[in-house]
Structure 1
């Protein structure tokens, strides 16, 4: 008869707490992130020497061929929707393609002024 003590095995560390932490972090980042909608069309913004962060909430996209997009609306509907959303001193942010001719940009700026906007910010990339 063998009455010797059995060999004790080392207790393995459980991986379950680490999995729980990873899933909690995943849920945290999913809940706190902001998913931005894709741009309606590809716009390459012009370069600038200095760039400040625009404070505008109203973002209007203008393509190189002059197409206008505001929220989910295009062209004339976009202008009407923008006119309904402009209130007080909230500036309008324009994301204009760098290849848009200056004469077309002046038409866009005058159209923004007719909506009642008091200031306009044009998005640019820093060199």
Structure 2
């Protein structure tokens, strides 16, 4: 009976130990690392209120999904809205409340400049109107 002897020489190191070490390092750094950027100061996000009536009075600015504007139900261009808001801001303080009713698919590039312009004009009571989806709309998804 002839038995073969294993070849002598360099057989190589098993890679299993290296894979285990790399895996443990990955898990370790995932556990101790921060995945989000945090502010260097305390940030308290706004509270959403639902089920309450809208406050009476003031102006209502509507923004469609395509970026079209209407102020108090009248379609207007962006310049006309800005002029009307500027005229409203020239009155005696306090300035009227401004409610912004934006379509859920309206892009922020349309919404944020409107808010910035209103704040620059002195409007400090700005409400963003959000409407929860209807149960039928959720079922259709």
TM-score normalised by structure 1 residue count:
0.52
Matches within 5 A, 1:18-57: 50-55=50-55, 56-57=57-58
Out of 89-98 and 50-59, give the one that drifted further: 50-59
Question: Partners of 2:114 and 2:97 in 1: how far apart?
Answer: 15
Count of residue pairs the alignment pairs up? 80
For the structure 1 residues 49 and 89, does the alpha-carbon distance in structure 2 shift closer, same or farther, using more than 3 Å as the test?
A: closer
For the structure 1 residues 108 and 54, does the alpha-carbon distance in structure 2 shift closer, same or farther, using more than 3 Å as the test?
A: same
TM-score normalised by structure 2 residue count:
0.47
How far does residue 121 in structure 1 lie from its aligned partner after superposition? 0.7
The answer (yes or no) to whether the contact 1:94–1:122 under 8 Å persists in 2 is yes
The answer (yes or no) to whether the contact 2:88–2:95 under 8 Å persists in 1 is no
Which secondary structure does the structure 1 equivalent of 2:85 belong to?
helix
For the structure 1 residues 109 and 58, does the alpha-carbon distance in structure 2 shift closer, same or farther, using more than 3 Å as the test?
A: same
Aligned to 1:101: 107
Greater RCO (CA < 8 Å, at least 6 residues apart): 1
How far does residue 65 in structure 1 lie from its aligned partner after superposition? 1.8
Gaps of 5+ in 1: 1-47
Aligned to 1:70: 71
Which secondary structure does the structure 2 equivalent of 1:52 belong to?
coil
Structure with bigger gyration radius? 2
Gaps of 5+ in 2: 1-47, 134-141
The answer (yes or no) to whether the contact 2:61–2:71 under 8 Å persists in 1 is yes
Question: Partners of 1:126 and 1:49 in 2: how far apart?
Answer: 11
Question: Partners of 1:57 and 1:82 in 2: how far apart?
Answer: 11
The answer (yes or no) to whether the contact 2:65–2:105 under 8 Å persists in 1 is yes
Q: CA RMSD in A?
A: 2.3
For the structure 1 residues 118 and 49, does the alpha-carbon distance in structure 2 shift closer, same or farther, using more than 3 Å as the test?
A: closer
